């Protein structure tokens, strides 16, 4: 976390012509030690534009991982090639972690949850009306897979066999 926080603090302090900690008060670094914590954080971040009334649904939210997972635009080879020479952050660029429906404990590489279940979780969570938040997903809207016009059977097939189905697309660019 120090490697991530320090360059951000230095850049912010330089821009604001000040000194001191950047991550304080409500901006804290919180370790996500369980799958539940990770999924909760992901859903929270993916729903921020909906709660702020910047988007009506998660799939319409620009600059979120849920939109990137639904409509992938990230290309690792292009990102590395277009990376500025004088990087502020000395961290590798990586694509989003993938969802794994089931794995052996020793072989886990991604998030132990299915993409379909995550979409449904975010959709369900986004429909919760909270008095302290401005926006939510309207209960009159159909479920997210229906809004995306994706039959559940097709979605399950593509999410379970993502790497095999989309390998050519990724292998050409890497």
Span 13-60, pLDDT tens digits: 898 898 877 766 656 667 778 778 888 888 889 999 998 899 999 999
Overall number of domains in the chain: 1
Asked if residue 141 lies in contact with residue 147, where contact means CB atoms within 8 angstroms, the answer is: yes
Q: Which residue has the higher pLDDT, 16 or 173?
A: 16
- What gap in Å lies between CA 114 and CA 154, rounded to an integer? 14
Q: Residue 133 and residue 90: Cα distance in Å, rounded?
A: 36
Q: What is the pLDDT of residue 150?
A: 76
Say if 21 falls within a structural domain. no
CA-nearest of 154, 142, 163, 165 to 116 is: 154
When pLDDT is averaged across residues 96-116 and rounded to a whole number, the result is: 74
- Domain membership flag for residue 118: yes
Q: What is the pTM of this model?
A: 0.63
In a domain, 31, yes or no: no
pLDDT top residue among 23 and 66: 66
Tell whether 12 is covered by a domain: no
- Which comes out higher in pLDDT, residue 101 or 61? 61
Across the chain, mean pLDDT equals 75
Domain of residue 144 covers 36-84+95-173
User: Looking at the domain assignment, is residue 129 inside a domain?
Assistant: yes
The token pair that represents 153 in the structure block: 């059977």
Reported confidence tier of residue 167, pLDDT bands at 50, 70, 90: very low
């Amino acid at each position: 976390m120090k490697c991530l926080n320090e360059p951000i603090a230095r850049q912010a302090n330089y821009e604001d012509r000040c000194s001191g900690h950047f991550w304080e008060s409500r901006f804290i670094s919180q370790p996500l030690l369980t799958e539940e914590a990770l999924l909760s954080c992901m859903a929270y971040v993916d729903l921020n534009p909906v709660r702020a009334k910047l988007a009506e649904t998660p799939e319409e939210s620009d600059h979120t991982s849920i939109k990137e997972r639904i409509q992938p635009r990230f290309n690792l080879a292009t990102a590395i090639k277009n990376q500025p020479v004088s990087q502020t952050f000395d961290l590798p660029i990586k694509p989003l972690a993938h969802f794994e429906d089931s794995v052996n404990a020793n072989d886990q590489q991604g998030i132990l949850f299915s993409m379909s279940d995550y979409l449904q979780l975010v959709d369900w969570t986004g429909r919760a009306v909270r008095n302290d938040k401005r926006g939510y997903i309207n209960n009159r809207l159909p479920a997210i897979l229906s809004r995306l016009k994706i039959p559940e059977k097709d979605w399950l097939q593509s999410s379970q066999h993502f790497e095999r189905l989309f390998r050519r697309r990724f292998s050409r660019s890497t």
